[in-house]
Structure 1
Amino acid sequence: MKKLLSVLVLFSLFSCSDENNEDLHEFVQNTKSLTYPIHDKIPELKNIDALIFTETLGRDPFATPYLSAAKDHGLLPSKCPQPNIQRKKGILESYPLDRLAMSGTVRINKTLFALIQASGGELYHVKKGDYLGLNQGKISDVSNKKIELVELIADNTGCWQERSTQIILPSE
């Protein structure tokens, strides 16, 4: 049975090869006959003088500048909020806020904790003062229905603007 099926498939493939393919041959001939102009004129490259780096010219451009050095040179505005870059980031600061959902609250020793479910299904507990989200979001209040946080958003002047955000417990 398999031999008969393979013979039928083989004959059906060869039966299509006798079709009129003149239009295909004409297209191939036309395409081969087309010529495209080749521009041999290569533009001249300008000679650029290389700058040899020495430490006397300034700080190492590949090293992260110290915060105190930036303040000394007046690079950071003094009257706007700045994030604490010395602080160790928590696990929930690697998730964007739209990937976090409030799933409830629990009270432990008179402290109200919010239960946060991450996009992978993991459940975490947070309280007032904890951080979450990508924009240094500090939790300012936890209630039975929502989490309020203040995020720091960078602007183009080196300042950081505070933005209030909420994560609301979805109604069932």
Structure 2
Amino acid sequence: MRLVVMTFLTIAAISGCARDMTDLDQYVAEVHAREGGRIEPLPQIKPYETFVYSASDSRSPFLPAVQEREESNFNNGIRPDDTRPREFLEQFPLDTLAMVGTLNLGGGEYALIKTKDGLLHRVKEGNHMGQSEGRVVEISQAEVKLIEIISDGLG
């Protein structure tokens, strides 16, 4: 039974491979004989006018207006004391120092300051800390108040 089915399928497959292509040749001849379609001409393209942005030197509307400051020869007389010896805590920015407590010792009040590397230091009023000439002016249980000398760029 299997042999009969295989033989029938083989004959059907071979019969489809005939060399008679007259119907295909006839169809190709019909297609070539047809009149070609008419293609419309392409529309005229207008040249694009480029836009030159001329306000690039102006102030950006998304930034706040900067007011020009008048240069003044105002001198308030506040200057850092370059003659005093530097203290250890002046090498650290203030944001790397933390107050962790206070200490009353011999009638004087000290603040305990922790550096970023975990060392504790005690400061009292008049000591300096931070990189902007910060001088301790008041110590309380909650905070240490400093006065810093910060340049405004004009002197």
TM-score, scaled to structure 2: 0.51
Counterpart amino acid of residue 136 in structure 1:
E
Cα deviation code 1:141-168 (max 9, x no counterpart): 001110000000012221xxxxxxxxxx
Structure 2 residue 85 is matched with structure 1 residue 88: yes
Larger helix proportion of the pair: 1
Cα deviation code 1:24-81 (max 9, x no counterpart): xxxxxxxxxxxxxxxxxxxxxxxxxxxxxxxxxxxxxxxxxxxxxxxxxxxx965331
Which of 107, 111, 119 is equivalent to 1:110?
107
Matches within 5 A, 1:13-32: none
SS in structure 1 opposite 2:149? strand
CA root-mean-square deviation: 1.4
SS in structure 1 opposite 2:118? coil
Which of 98, 103, 107 is equivalent to 1:101?
98
Which of 113, 119, 123 is equivalent to 1:122?
119
- Identity in percent: 34
Runs (5+) with no aligned partner, structure 1: 1-75, 159-172
Matches within 5 A, 1:35-46: none
Which structure is richer in relative contact order (CA contacts within 8 A, separation 6 or more)?
Answer: 1
Which of 142, 153, 164 is equivalent to 2:139?
142
User: In the aligned structure 2, how far is the partner of 1:149 from the partner of 1:85?
Assistant: 19
User: In the aligned structure 2, how far is the partner of 1:111 from the partner of 1:77?
Assistant: 39
Larger strand proportion of the pair: 1
Larger Rg: 2
Which runs of structure 1 show a deviation greater than 4 angstroms over 4 or more consecutive aligned residues? none
- Give the equivalent residue in structure 2 for 1:132: 129
